[in-house]
């Protein structure tokens, strides 16, 4: 039976690749996409989610627009990485699909409460504003989530926004604090592992050789992403941060990690957004996160390219 999945997202090229991987995989039943401000402003993330569904020929997947700004901080975007649209690099037509009228937070609460306990997985590949707001609206949804698969944070690797903080957590650290303290089982894909899954020209070439129009479109997106990330990362390749969450759901043997207690820093101007792991158990509480640090990158790219070739 397919695993019921909600994807909370802020597309973004790497979000696009993650969503397409999920939509190409029969092991996953994508119940809907919820969008939030992050890589670009909220109207653009919602528009991009619609465009991605249409690229995958999956107009049956509903898209719900969510929070337009972080809980407390001012919005922060990353056009220098993803372009002004969030999906620069490929020609994607204006969507014919329409957004659902319901707010993403309301839909999350309604959908989760209507399902059984621990019956639904959420892949959270964006700032955690929608998830935190849903938990504030109805704390009982914590028992309805089987696993929250999060791309965010950093354990040992340092940040990509500040020396301490990764983008998704930095953008809304107060939301992340709520989510990490919620008691939900979290599988975390921090920069420590996602920086090891780097697309290079060979991967672009394999995608461009596909018979799938969606795969060839991803090749165009990767070309742009390689250019911007080359400037940011010194030419090491473009990390496919968000796709790690979906790849793990499809094949957990691709990743290696350990269970930890992790808290989020919200008070210090110097380290706000830092995810602080308790390596030695000094807090005395239970581990709340399965955090991954290593992965089999060649197998991940083989999986990705094979699945996108199906679309």
Class of residue 97 by CB neighbours under 10 A (exposed 0-12, middle 13-18, buried 19+): middle
∠ CA(62), CA(33), CA(291), 5° rounding? 160
Residues 6+ apart with CB under 8 A from 207: 215, 216, 218, 219, 222, 305, 308
Residues 6+ apart with CB under 8 A from 71: 129, 132, 133, 172, 174, 175
Q: Which residue in 82, 174, 203, 241 is the catalytic one?
A: 241
Interhelix angle 243-250/13-23, rounded to 10 degrees, is: 20
Residue 93 parent element (H or E):
none
Q: Which of 87, 82, 80 is nearest to 53 (CA)?
A: 87
In this structure, are residues 31 and 6 in contact, taking their beta carbons and an 8 Å threshold?
yes
- Residue 91 catalytic? no
- In the chain, which residue ranges form alpha helices assigned H by DSSP? 13-23, 42-55, 79-82, 104-114, 129-137, 167-171, 173-180, 191-194, 201-208, 213-233, 243-250, 297-308
In this structure, are residues 234 and 198 in contact, taking their beta carbons and an 8 Å threshold?
no
In this structure, are residues 283 and 260 in contact, taking their beta carbons and an 8 Å threshold?
no
In this structure, are residues 161 and 154 in contact, taking their beta carbons and an 8 Å threshold?
no
What are the tokens at 221?
């997106």
Neighbours of 209 (CB within 10 A): 12
State the catalytic residues: 241
């Amino acid at each position: 039976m397919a695993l019921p999945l909600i994807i909370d997202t802020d597309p973004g090229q790497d979000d696009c690749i993650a969503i397409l991987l999920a939509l190409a995989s029969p092991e996953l039943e994508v119940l809907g996409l919820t969008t939030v401000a992050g890589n670009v402003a909220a109207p653009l993330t919602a528009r991009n989610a619609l465009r991605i569904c249409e690229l995958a020929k999956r107009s049956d997947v509903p898209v719900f627009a969510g929070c337009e700004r972080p809980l407390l901080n001012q919005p922060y975007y990353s056009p220098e990485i993803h372009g002004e649209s969030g999906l620069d690099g490929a020609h994607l037509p204006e969507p014919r699909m329409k957004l659902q009228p319901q707010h993403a937070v309301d839909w999350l609460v309604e959908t989760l409460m209507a399902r059984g306990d621990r019956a639904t997985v959420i892949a959270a590949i964006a700032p955690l504003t929608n998830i935190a707001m849903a938990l504030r609206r109805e704390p009982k949804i914590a028992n309805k989530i089987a696993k929250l698969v999060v791309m965010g944070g950093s354990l040992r690797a340092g940040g990509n926004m500040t020396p301490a903080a990764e983008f998704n957590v930095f953008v809304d650290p107060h939301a992340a604090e709520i989510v990490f303290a919620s008691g939900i089982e979290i599988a975390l894909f921090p920069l420590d592992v996602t920086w090891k899954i780097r697309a290079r020209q060979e991967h672009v070439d394999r995608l461009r050789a596909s018979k799938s129009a969606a795969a060839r479109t991803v090749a165009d997106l990767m070309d742009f992403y390689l250019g911007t990330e080359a400037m940011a990362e010194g030419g090491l390749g473009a990390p496919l941060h968000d796709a790690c969450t979906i790849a793990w759901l499809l094949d957990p043997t691709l990743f290696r990690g350990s269970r930890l207690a992790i808290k989020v820093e919200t008070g210090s101007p110097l380290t706000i957004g830092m995810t602080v792991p308790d390596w030695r158990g000094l807090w005395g509480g239970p581990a709340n996160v399965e955090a991954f640090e290593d992965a089999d990158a060649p197998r991940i790219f083989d999986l990705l390219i094979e699945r996108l070739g199906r679309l």
